[in-house]
Structure 1
Amino acid sequence: MTLLRDEDLSTAFDHAARSYDALVAANPGYHAQLRRSVRRLGLPGYGAGLRLLDLGCGTGASTAALRAVLPAAHITAVDASAGMLRRAAAKPWASGVTFVRAPAERLADAGVTGPFDAVFAAYLLRNVADPDGVLTAARDLLAAGGRLGVHEYTLSGRRADRTVWTLVCRGLLRPVASVLGDGALYRHLWHSVTRFDTADRFAARIRAAGFDHVRTLPLPGWQTGIAHTFVARRPEAAR
């Protein structure tokens, strides 16, 4: 199967937006694990005075995780899918959350400018055509010492983890999505994970984009060995 890209992928997400929240709710621990990844950023206090970029916010699950852990921060949430973003923006939010429609590769064109204290990207990097370019752009948007958090499906490289991922997709996600008319998107989901970096390779990709203090942290539950949190920092300015 050829992976969906750019406009086709954005259109598929637009169509899936109406049922996306219901599908992810069936994933045990989905929202708790997003909050766990946000906490792993290690940002101080409740985020007072901090600017955060939620890159690829979808219907707002990652935005809600940022808001829950860092309620005093200002969050700019960005997504390329109009349908996903419309769902996210329609939810009740306290002040300090701004939604912007833009591809991750063209943030400046939509007026998204740094410096940010942290960039958080959940389930995004394997879906972009140029992950290295997006990582470099994220680095450039961060203040010196700013933090990157990536919450992503990146297989460990063990055959058992690939088998579990395949069973979950073929036995649960794809049949339900097909009934809802979103089969192509969830076929893409399976392929996008199996064809993307292993966790070690993705960590190396982050380092190559100019980050330091890179750490790879597994997520618990059935996703152990399948999904990871990656945390890193933009190097401090030369003294």
Structure 2
Amino acid sequence: MTLLRDEDLSAAFDHASRSYDALVAANPGYHSHLRRSVRRLGLPGRGEGLRVLDLGCGTGASTAAIRSVLPAAAVTAVDASAGMLGRAAAKPWADGVRFVHAPAEHLAEAGVDGPFDAVFAAYLFRNVSDPDAVLRTVRTILRPGGRLGVHEYSLSGRPADRAVWTTVCRGVVQPAATLLGDGPLYRHLWRSVLDFDTAGRFADRLRAAGFDRVRTLPLPGWQTGITHTFVAERGEDGR
């Protein structure tokens, strides 16, 4: 199948936004895994004085994870889907969170600029047309020494992990999504993971984009070998 991209993908997320939270809530560990990935950034304290960019915030699950781990940080949450962003912004938030409608490729045009102390991107990079360009943008808006955390479906490369992913998608996720009228988006979800970088390849992509201290960390449960946290830094000298 042809993957959804750009306006077509945003429109699919717009349509799915009404039921998205219910579907992800059925995924064991979904929210706790996001919090674990935020903690892996290793940011100090409660986030006092820190600026964090939540890139591809969706309906706000990643934003909530950031606020749970770093309640004092100032968070800018960005998404290309107006429907998803509207759901996120409608939730109750303490002061210090703002939402911006913008594609990851056009942050500057939307007034999103650095320096940020950290960028967190959950389930984003396999959904953009040019992940290398987005990584370059992320690097420019991080302060020297700033940290990038990526929480992504990125398979280990073992055939068993591909088989588990396909079984879960074809047997559970896609039938439920089809009943809700969102079959095309979740077929994209299944295929986009199979077509995306393995965990090792994505770590190499981060290094090629100029990030230092790249680490690849597994997540527990049924997603072991399927979902990973990637943590990297922009060099202190800004290289």
How many angstroms apart in 2 are the aligned matches of 1:60 and 1:141?
Answer: 21
Where structure 1 has 5 or more consecutive residues not aligned to the other structure, the ranges are: none
- Structure 1 stretches of at least 4 aligned residues deviating more than 2 Å after TM superposition: none
Shift of 1:237: 1.4
Q: TM-score, normalised by structure 1?
A: 0.99
- For residues 98 and 87 of structure 2, what CA distance do their matches in structure 1 show? 13
Q: Distance in 1 between matches of 2:191 and 2:52?
A: 30
Match of 2:87 in 1: 87
Deviation string 1:134-186 (CA, Å, 9 cap, x unpaired) is 01100100000000000000000000000000000001000000000000000
Aligned positions, number: 239
The aligned counterpart of 1:66 is 66
Q: How far is the alpha carbon of 1:231 from its aligned partner?
A: 0.1
Aligned pairs for 1:1-239 (under 5 A) are 1-237=1-237
CA RMSD of aligned residues (A): 0.9
Distance in 2 (CA, whole Å) between partners of 1:221 and 1:206 is: 25
Deviations 1:14-35 (A, max 9, x none): 0000000000000001000000
Distance 2:18 2:207 in 1: 37
Supply the distance in 2 between the matched residues of 1:7 and 1:102 (Cα, whole angstroms).
12
1:107-139 Cα shifts (integer Å, max 9, x gaps): 000000000000000000000000000011001
Q: 2 CA distance for matches of 1:136 and 1:118?
A: 14
> Secondary structure of the equivalent of 2:71?
coil
Secondary structure class of the residue paired with 2:149: strand
Unaligned runs of 5+ in 2: none
Normalising by structure 2, report the TM-score. Answer: 0.99
**Cα distance per residue 1:73-118 (max 9 Å; x no partner):** 0000000000000000000000000000000000000000000000
Aligned partners of 2:108 and 2:19: how far apart in 1? 30
Amino acid at match of 1:108: A
**Cα offsets for 1:46-91 (capped at 9, x unmatched):** 0000000000000000000000000000000000000000000000
Q: Aligned residues: percent identity? A: 79
State the Cα deviation string for residues 182-223 of structure 1 (Å, max 9, x = none).
Answer: 000000000100000000000000001110000000000000
| Aligned equivalents of 1:6, 1:80: Cα separation in 2 | 9
